[in-house]
Amino acid sequence: MKMELIIRNGFVFDPINGVKGEKMDIAVRDGKIVERVNERKALEIDASGMLVMPGGVDIHCHIAGSEVNAGRLLRPEDHFKYSERKTATTRSGSGHSVPSTFTTGYRYSRMGYTTIMNPAMPPLMAKHTHKELNDTPMVDKGSFPLLGDWWFVLEHLSNGRIEECARYVAWLMTSTKGYAVKIVNPGGVEAWGFGHNVHSLDEQVPNFNITPREIIRGLCKVNKLLNLPHTIHVHTNNLGKPGNYTTTLETMKCVEDLAADDKPVIHITHCQFSAFKGSDWKTLRSGAEEIARYVNNHSHVTLDMGQVVFTDTTTMTADAPFQYTLHELTGSKWTNQDVETETSVGIVPFRYRRKSYVHAMQWSIGLELALLIKDPWKIFLTTDHPNAGPFTAYPRIISWLMSRRAREATMKKINRRAQSKSLLPSITRELDFYEIAVMTRAGQAKALGLKDKGHLGVGADADIAVYKINPEELDPSRDYKIVRKAFRRAAYTVKGGEIVARNGEILKHVKGATLWLKVKTSQQTKVNEDLKRRFRDYWTVEYENYPVSENSLDISHPINVEAKI
Amino acid sequence: MRTVKHVTCPVCGCLCDDLELTIKDEKVVKVKNGCALCKAKFLGYSKHRVLKPLVRKNGRFFEVSYEEAVSRAAEILTEANYPLLYGWSMTSCEAVSAGIELAEEIGGVIDTTSTLCHGPSTLGIQDVGISSATLGQVRHRADLIVYWGSNPLIAHPRHMERYTIFRKGRFQKEKRKLIVVDVRKTETAETADIFLQIKPNMDYEVLQALRALIRDQELDVDEVAGIPTERLEEIADTMVECRFGALFFGSGLTMTRGKNRNIDAVLSLVSDLNKLTKFIAMPMRGHFNVTGADMILTWQTGYPYAVDFSLGYPRYNPGETSAVDILLREESDAALVVASDPVASLPRKAAEHLAENPLIVVDPHMSATARMADVVLPSTFVGIESGGTAYRMDHVPLPLKKIVEPPEGILSDEEILRIILSEVKRKKAEQMENP
Amino acid sequence: MMNLYPTKKFRFPITAECISPDVFQDKKIEEIRRLTVWEGNKQRILGELFKVKESESETKMVVINIHGDVSRVRRIGAYMTSGQIVIYGNAGMHLGEEMEGGEIIVRGNVGCWAGSMMKGGKIEIYGNAGNYLGAPYRGVNKGMRGGEIVVHGNVGNEAGAYMRRGVIKVYGNAGQFAGLRMQNGTIYVQKDCEARVGACMKDGKIIVSGFLESVLPTFTIEGLKEKVKIENDETAEGPFYLFLGDTAEDGKGKLYVSKTKNPHLNRYEKLL
Ligand code: SF4
Ligand SMILES: [Zn+2]
């Protein structure tokens, strides 16, 4: 039996259970939150004068898998000045924007994060992704297989065979130990197979009788048929191009009719990159207002920020045609890896500069989105790590969201023209700790459909973060630097009921589970026979060698899903 | 008699996973689908086995228990000031993972055989990146195949059949065009549509010339490396005009004059070609899991080979932290060799230094290196007698299978490394208590 | 003035970036002896590996003299911004890496990556230098960004790779790929030079006064020059062929090659 633990007297922010900073105790036994524990025996954390929140949840961060590793390999210059020494409890590692796996886990844990979602898994490379996730300690984790350009999806959807498509997706989700349906520049990635791209929702995908709109709608229907806990997770067409906010609006609109009961049916990821107005880089403007207006008036969408921070980083997405454009734009080195029958990936090192008009606008757009969208349950804090900056920048972003002064301090240092075009000076909103708790854990867990995460109700996983901030004494608007510092190093991080980090020091190396969906459909066998027949035509590996076996996951945490088919 | 299907071949970087093996009395008696190299391995691997751990005392080998051999190995490694852990390309990812932890624990340098074959490819990638793809992408889309300094018919016998020239693909319209560039007319060159025989050690000049030509630059010279400029212009046109080109390069490019700069040039050429068409490049990795060793080192440490833990954190700088250079400078004072036979492949001086210092070998065979060793730990054949994961040359991970039982009592590389690791930890804890 | 004497012949790599005037500054000799260094995988103090002695000096500048063979000692003078290091013997890799100011003088040979990514100051080597003189770390595309390196002997491959500013003068021979991917700055080789000089250069100036094995096919002849300026008061006497390149990167770097020492290049003259 694991130890009992009680966290006393903290100011608890637990949005899912409506707790908004009340002083209370949190009791833990066997890795779960419980009603009460034996107070004399339980280990005690004195959290008086501190914030207590559910452990952080990250809905979108590229921390593991073939593309991340290709990024690591590409960039020794990213690592050699960012080394972490081996200690009695921790493994060594290196890396700034693409850290090695052990280091990634420790850095998340130091910030009080306990669950993360790795949003881009080429299905053929799923074994690789899971091996890396096995080596990413301290956090529970899941991965989203890239399905928007998979030939099976394109073919079945173009023939209107939604149910059959759903069966294949169910098979693939379970075989690759995936967690959600990821769609990246639908159609464009397939077109990239011959060096092309698609440019609107209604352009025909070369060689396939389908359009991006049909892919998005089709997979949205599939997602609903399968009852998956998260919505489709979409990286829009035209990402990173001036004027693309209209594509984003259209993308959200195109599934409007598929929504019911005020439930989200689509997640637009790293929305900052898809909220550009203007016709070229010179005339770039923010499309945040238009997007926020739409989101404020609809309930079928969630978003995450993809907030830019000014630093050297590594961009990596399955949107390989976009990455190629970035390579041409910057002249930086470029890695591309197309994956047969499924997807692709591109990687380009990148530095966001304060003095660049475009980069400064991007910085502003991310924050505008977060502040103009009224409901924090609809937009989450991410940097699309490492695309807009490494996840270690989250505390800085929290301080921008909570403090106008923090925003102004940065605003003073950015490109002049961007200062005059930014909408930020007109925005007075400053988020409070409750809203931060929603955007960094509760909202993300809810959007992911993670029932035991992101809250501190009885029965929840005992993943808890304690921060050295006294919300009664501290004014985050003024003392934003203290806020930043406190979120950088949690006073305590509790994972699965154990104290794993204290004041930034890792006390215990724990593995963390891999979350995946075991999707049950009524007719599974038929899929397999058809699959086997076509497998050799589509891939260059044997059908039997394709799936990820459950015992290859160090700690497997299957989530049963009953499909409607 | 029984048959096992969908077996992954533990020989070369093609990692064919469609073998069908017939087993009789725990021996492989028939191999279906495999090439000659594959058959030779499955049918002949069990010769020259070591079946007992050996420890050298007073110049002679004595058979001992695993326990004693491991204890001696751990002693050597804990005492060393700059130990080298070398090999890793012919074993499973799981064994490499244990090896990395061991290297970190003892403050050693871990390096793979990449250092002798495609290390320069990695350096080239780190300078300019690589436009690449999985082999299936080539199969479905390529209409132009280039082999440069590589002779797949001999070294990767099923590469052309499974992935490039002879395999049918979805978007393939006609027979694919094959260009071979080499310094001699190889077996593969015999089958080429275009064979470009260039003067030895001048690949760099040819590659740069092609790069300039696809940019429509004029050259001042009439020939490059023995090839008339006009001919090069034709080649450049062929490359530009294809729909999807795939260029594969081997040690004929990585290990000849210019080394990583040849790769820098070839990758730059392919990258440049993407302005005009679709083109990808891929190193023809030799040993079956050298790619896997690169991958796992990269995700655990940030660096793909030549990783030095002597300061307690990973550092990487081939030339400084690479095995051959360390041995040539005579810096290491102990070595652990796993799944490799460096005495047979390293420069003589480097091999001598390796043998002069305490040497531990983990290998199923009595290899040339094992014969020089102080401790020999016999292991299973990975992919035959024990399972795991390996990576194909295009980074696709595939399962290795345990097909037959190993000889009684013989442990896998991974198991051996794990017990050395725990013995090292035990010894270090002991030293902490009574220094 | 601090004097360091190796206490033994080093067998393992020694990492000692603490041997720098910036670190020694304002430290008592006892503190200097206690500075951390690494011998292989063992942490040591400087005083274990070197006898440290103080001697009189006239200047206020921090001067470190190293007497003996330190060819296995790496990173001497890394990041230094001022002062002087004089090495009476051979020195190891990464000498003066990323240095910003001050001076290093070596009365012997140095290993690879001397002056790597240097930003300012001066390194003068009386013997030979290894590969990657002034060149950057793996994957970095910024080489030397300022300062000066003078080598009286020969240098290995890739001297001045990725150079952005500054001057490298080699009074001996140079290996392959001198000035690889350079963007600016000046490289002067007084004697002979192996092939592939200026490969992928975008801009900047390379002068070869001796025999050059071959010019890359991606350089075009531009003219003949009587003499070329190396820096302020130093010029190289010609005549020189002037080539522009590397056209493989649409570069416009200038490569000057001695006419008299390179009769094999006179076929280019017909293009002038
Ligand atoms: S080509 Fe290579 S992997 Fe395939 S069967 Fe032959 S040796 Fe084995
Ligand atoms: Zn992303």
Per-residue pLDDT tens digits for B116-164: 889 999 999 999 999 999 999 999 999 999 999 999 999 999 999 999 9
The ipTM (two decimal places) reads 0.97
pLDDT in tens, A137-189: 999 999 999 999 999 999 999 999 999 999 999 999 999 999 999 999 999 99
Question: Is it the case that residue C131 has pLDDT exceeding 60?
Answer: yes
Ligand 1: residue whose CA is nearest its atom 1: B158
Q: According to the model, what pLDDT value does residue B291 have? A: 97
Chain A residue with the nearest C-alpha to that of C140: A77
C146 close to C128: Cβ distance less than 8 angstroms:
no
Mean pLDDT of chain A: 96
Q: According to the model, what pLDDT value does residue B347 have? A: 94
For residues C202-225, give the mean pLDDT.
97
Q: What residues 128-147 of chain C have any CB closer than 8 A to a CB of chain A?
A: 137-141
CB distance B6–A545 less than 8 Å?
yes
For residues B385-407, give the mean pLDDT.
97
pTM for the model stands at: 0.97
CB distance A336–B133 less than 8 Å?
yes
pLDDT in tens, A338-395: 999 999 999 999 999 999 999 999 999 999 999 999 999 999 999 999 999 999 999 9
Q: Is the dihedral of CA A292, A238, B139, A64 positive or negative?
A: negative
Residue A276 bridge partners (DSSP): A286
Question: Is it the case that residue B230 has pLDDT exceeding 70?
Answer: yes
Q: According to the model, what pLDDT value does residue A527 have? A: 67
Q: Looking at chain A, how many residues does it have? A: 565
Radius of gyration over every alpha carbon of chain B, rounded to an integer in angstroms: 23
Which residues contact residue A565 at a Cβ distance below 8 angstroms, ignoring those fewer than 6 apart? A163, A166, A167, A225, A226, A521, A522, A523
Maximum CA extent, chain A: 69
Instruction: Tell me which of C12, C158, C218 to substitute to probe the interface with B (most B C-beta atoms closer than 10 Å).
Output: C218
For the record, the structure tokens of A174 come out as: 């379970």
Task: Report the alpha-carbon distance of residue B311 to residue B351 in Å, rounded.
Answer: 25
Question: Is it the case that residue A1 has pLDDT exceeding 70?
Answer: no
Mean pLDDT of chain B: 96
Q: According to the model, what pLDDT value does residue A532 have? A: 83
Question: Is it the case that residue A439 has pLDDT exceeding 80?
Answer: yes
Backbone φ/ψ region at A324: left (φ over 0), alpha (ψ -120 to 50), beta:
alpha
Q: Which domains does chain B have, with CATH numbers?
A: 48-116+288-433 (3.40.50.740), 119-283 (3.40.228.10)
Q: According to the model, what pLDDT value does residue A414 have? A: 98
Q: Is the dihedral of CA B311, B315, B317, B321 positive or negative?
A: positive
Indicate whether residue B155 lines ligand 1 (CB < 6 A).
no
pLDDT in tens, B285-336: 999 999 999 999 999 999 999 999 999 999 999 999 999 999 999 999 999 9
B286 close to A84: Cβ distance less than 8 angstroms:
no
A266 close to A251: Cβ distance less than 8 angstroms:
yes
Kindly indicate the confidence band of residue B115, based on its pLDDT and cuts at 50, 70 and 90: confident
What are the φ/ψ torsions at residue A502 (nearest 5 degrees)? -140, 125
From the CA of A500, how far away is ligand 2's center (Å)? 28
CA distance A71 to chain C (A): 12
Q: According to the model, what pLDDT value does residue C238 have? A: 86
> Helix B290-301 vs helix A126-134: angle between axes, to the nearest 10 degrees?
40
Task: Report the alpha-carbon distance of residue A93 to residue A75 in Å, rounded.
Answer: 14
Which is the closest atom of ligand 1 to the Cα of B14? 3
The ranges assigned to domains in chain A are 4-54+452-506
Q: How many CA atoms lie within 13 A of B222 on its CB side?
A: 4
Kindly indicate the confidence band of residue A524, based on its pLDDT and cuts at 50, 70 and 90: low
From the CA of B158, how far away is ligand 1's center (Å)? 6
Q: According to the model, what pLDDT value does residue B131 have? A: 98
Indicate whether residue B284 lines ligand 1 (CB < 6 A).
no
What are the φ/ψ torsions at residue B57 (nearest 5 degrees)? -130, 130
**Any C CB within 8 A of B330 CB:** yes
Residue A232, helix vs strand vs coil? strand
Dihedral angle over CA of B148, B150, B156, B157, nearest 10 = 90
Kindly indicate the confidence band of residue C60, based on its pLDDT and cuts at 50, 70 and 90: confident
Q: According to the model, what pLDDT value does residue B53 have? A: 98
Q: According to the model, what pLDDT value does residue A39 have? A: 87
DSSP-derived letter for residue A342 is T
For residue A144, which of A129, A163, A128 has the smallest C-alpha distance? A129
Task: Report the alpha-carbon distance of residue B359 to residue B369 in Å, rounded.
Answer: 9
C91 close to C106: Cβ distance less than 8 angstroms:
yes
Kindly indicate the confidence band of residue A262, based on its pLDDT and cuts at 50, 70 and 90: confident
From the CA of B248, how far away is ligand 2's center (Å)? 30
Which residues contact residue A191 at a Cβ distance below 8 angstroms, ignoring those fewer than 6 apart? A197, A198, A205, A206, A321
- Cα–Cα distances (Å) from B339 to A366, B4, B40, B290, in that order, read 51, 25, 18, 11
Question: Which fold, A4-54+452-506?
Answer: Urease, subunit C; domain 1 (2.30.40)
CA distance A326 to chain C (A): 17
Q: According to the model, what pLDDT value does residue A529 have? A: 78
Indicate whether residue B37 lines ligand 1 (CB < 6 A).
yes
CB distance C217–B220 less than 8 Å?
yes
Which residues contact residue A430 at a Cβ distance below 8 angstroms, ignoring those fewer than 6 apart? A401, A402, A403, A404, A476, A477
Nearest to B313 among A92, A101, A124 (CB): A92
Q: What residues 305-344 of chain A have any CB closer than 8 A to a CB of chain C?
A: 333
Task: Report the alpha-carbon distance of residue C248 to residue C154 in Å, rounded.
Answer: 28
Task: Report the alpha-carbon distance of residue B18 to residue A334 in Å, rounded.
Answer: 33
For residue B20, which of B40, B39, B46 has the smallest C-alpha distance? B39
Q: Is the dihedral of CA A328, A332, A337, A341 positive or negative?
A: negative
What are the φ/ψ torsions at residue B15 (nearest 5 degrees)? 45, 50
DSSP-derived letter for residue A392 is G
DSSP-derived letter for residue A16 is G
For the record, the structure tokens of B431 come out as: 């030293």
Indicate whether residue B16 lines ligand 1 (CB < 6 A).
yes
The pLDDT > 90 percentage for chain A reads 96
A349 close to A314: Cβ distance less than 8 angstroms:
yes
Indicate whether residue B12 lines ligand 1 (CB < 6 A).
yes
Nearest to B310 among C38, C72, C268 (CB): C38
Task: Report the alpha-carbon distance of residue B14 to residue A38 in Å, rounded.
Answer: 60
For residues C134-147, give the mean pLDDT.
97
The pLDDT > 70 percentage for chain B reads 100
CB distance C132–B310 less than 8 Å?
no
Residue A493: enclosing H or E segment and its boundaries?
strand A492-495
Residue A466, helix vs strand vs coil? strand
Question: Is it the case that residue A523 has pLDDT exceeding 80?
Answer: no
What are the φ/ψ torsions at residue B428 (nearest 5 degrees)? -65, -40
pLDDT in tens, A465-512: 999 999 999 999 999 999 999 999 999 999 999 999 999 999 999 999
Ligand 1: residue whose CA is nearest its atom 2: B12
Size of interface A-B (CB pairs under 8 A): 186
pLDDT in tens, A354-367: 999 999 999 999 99
**Any C CB within 8 A of B248 CB:** no
